[in-house]
Amino acid sequence: MLDAHFPESIRQDVLDAVGLSLEPEDAGGGDPAARRRDPAFRDKVLLAYE
């Protein structure tokens, strides 16, 4: 989406504005099971979609 809709000159500004990064984050040494999730996420989704 970023490549399709924004010129390269402002892509980093767009990422910064929405709080995203294209760099992978170290989440527990690369172990996906070690990644911490928001325990309230499920409830928020269920509430949003009733």
- How confident is the model over 18-39, as pLDDT tens digits? 988 888 765 555 566 666 778 8
Confidence band, pLDDT 50/70/90 cuts, at residue 4: very high
Beta-carbon count within 10 A of 46 CB: 9
Token readout for 45 is 């989704």
In the predicted model, is pLDDT for residue 10 greater than 70? yes
The predicted model scores a pTM of 0.45
- What's the CA dihedral at 44, 25, 6, 8 to 10 degrees? 170
Token readout for 9 is 């000159």
Token readout for 30 is 């690369």
Q: How many residues does the chain have?
A: 50
How far is it, in rounded angstroms, from Cα 42 to Cα 32? Answer: 18
Q: What percent of the chain has pLDDT over 70?
A: 78
In the predicted model, is pLDDT for residue 9 greater than 90? yes
